[in-house]
Amino acid sequence: MINIGIIGAGRIGKVHAESITYHVKEARVAAIADPFMNEATKTWAENLGIPKILTDYKEILSDDSIDAVLICSSTDTHADISIEAIKANKHVFCEKPISQDLTKIQAVIDTLKTSNVKFQVGFNRRFDHNFEAVRNAVAEGKIGDVHIVKVTSRDPDAPPIEYVKVSGGMFLDMTIHDFDMVRYLTSSDVVEVYAYGTSLVNPLISEVGDIDTAIITMKLANGALAMIDNSRKADYGYDQRAEVFGSKGQVAVTNDTPSTAVISTATGVTGEKPLYFFLERYMASFTKEVSLFVQAIINDTEVPVNIIDGLQPVLIAKAAKKSLDEHRPVLLSEIVM
């Protein structure tokens, strides 16, 4: 049994705690820590059967009975806590991004060089059943050589302005998943980025220096071209689609819906809207990514999303922001660690 400590009891920390408790049989949540632990969260944790409910994560790191940690705290703490955890000889699952600061990501990489712990980054969409099917079709050569990749990702509603102010910008907060998806679906790195962006959803987003609507085009190392389109607000729900076109054909996936029922009447043909947001759409993928992390610890195998997989989307996001600001294509090689 792998004993896990969760650092951060916010929305994603709760998701992981519940998925481990109910679905990951080889692990248990032995402790959870959050400096803002309140009575409601404490009661929730007690009801899950978590034995240690703490306010200081350092108590988790100093606990020899705990094998691994899930870092679900605020983004600005990810890298520092990762380094502390590695030095404490804990296996680490770190939510994305590792950091918005490339020098901090490099510090985590350097710390890992002298350690044998597992380090996995939380890009959960890789474990979604739809995107796995696309990846498998591409990897098995069913569509031939990859020529064009299209990823659509649109949220059902824009986040609060207070969140936008500290998110690091849409490319690092939202599009980072799509940057990772392009790499995952094609098994190829991005070499050049051209980004267009504006604020069409909420003018306040523009006032705080961010965007809410974007189209990003990319050149990949394997010669293929990729495009991502993003919006912070889609009235019809969480829009998550992907297509890969190649020399022998294409593979595409559309949105998950509550049912596949289509009603046809004299007044029209209608179906269900997409599932509302990421908790509905990707819950199974959150469970699978942690389950595979646990399996990597038990079997001493490679984690499915490593530190370099965590670094690359941040580099792409930085290149996209540079492209947006300078109105030109940007090579990934221009982004210096």
Which string of DSSP letters, residue by residue, matches 139-192? HTTTT-SEEEEEEEEE-SSPPPHHHHHHS--HHHHTHHHHHHHHHHHHT--EEE
Average pLDDT, rounded, for the chain: 96
Tokens 């003018």 correspond to what residue?
Answer: 203
The SS3 call for residue 325 is: helix
Residue 290 within any structural domain of the chain? no
Same domain, 63 and 207: no
Residue 295 forms part of a structural domain: no
Per-residue pLDDT at 280: 84
**Last residue within a domain, chosen from 96, 117, 138:** 117
Q: What is the pLDDT of residue 337?
A: 72
pLDDT at 192: 98
Which of 117, 139, 154 terminates a domain? The answer is 117
Is the domain of 177 the same as that of 200? Answer: yes
Q: What is the pLDDT of residues 153-185, one digit of tens each?
A: 999 999 999 999 989 999 999 999 999 999 999
Same domain membership, residue 330 and residue 181: yes
% of the chain beyond a pLDDT of 70: 100
Task: Please check the confidence at residue 336 and state whether its pLDDT lies above 90.
Answer: no
Tokens describing residue 286: 């959150």
Same domain, 156 and 267: yes
The CATH code of the domain that includes 254 is 3.30.360.10
Q: H helices within the chain, ranges in order?
A: 11-23, 39-48, 58-61, 78-87, 102-112, 129-139, 161-166, 170-173, 175-186, 203-207, 278-281, 283-299, 307-326
Both tokens of 111, joined, read 């710390």
pTM of the model: 0.95
Q: Could you tell me the sign of the dihedral formed by the alpha carbons of 124, 126, 131, 132, in that order? A: negative
137 and 63 inside one domain: no
The token pair at 235 is 């009235």
- The per-residue pLDDT for range 6-60, each reduced to its tens digit, is 999 999 999 999 999 999 999 999 999 999 999 999 999 999 999 999 999 999 9
User: Which of the listed residues 117, 152, 178 is the one where a domain comes to its end?
Assistant: 117
pLDDT given at position 125:
97
> Which has the closest alpha carbon to 184: 238, 143, 130?
130
Are residue 163 and residue 276 in the same domain, yes or no? Answer: yes
| Residue 88 resides in a domain | yes
Question: Residue 297 domain-assigned?
Answer: no
The pLDDT assigned to 277 comes to 80
What is the rounded CA–CA span in Å between residue 221 and residue 207? Answer: 36
> Closest Cα to residue 122, out of 292, 334, 333?
292
Q: How far apart are CA 231 and CA 225, in angstroms?
A: 21
What is the tens place of the pLDDT at every residue in 81-125?
999 999 999 999 999 999 999 999 999 999 999 999 999 999 999
153 shares a domain with 15: no
Length of the chain in residues, anyone? 337
**pLDDT at res. 278:** 82
Q: Where does the pLDDT of residue 223 fall: very low under 50, low under 70, confident under 90, or very high at 90 and above?
A: very high
Q: What is the pLDDT of residues 254-279, one digit of tens each?
A: 999 999 899 999 999 999 999 888 87
Q: Does 108 lie in the same domain as 178? A: no
Q: What is the mean pLDDT of residues 195-213?
A: 96
pLDDT tens per residue across span 114-130: 999 999 999 999 999 99
115 contact partners, CB below 8 Å, separation of at least 6: 86, 87, 89
Across 212-231, average pLDDT: 98
pLDDT attached to residue 299: 98
Say what the pLDDT of residue 96 is: 96
Residue 90 in contact with residue 67, Cβ under 8 Å?
Answer: yes
**Residue 276 confidence (pLDDT):** 85
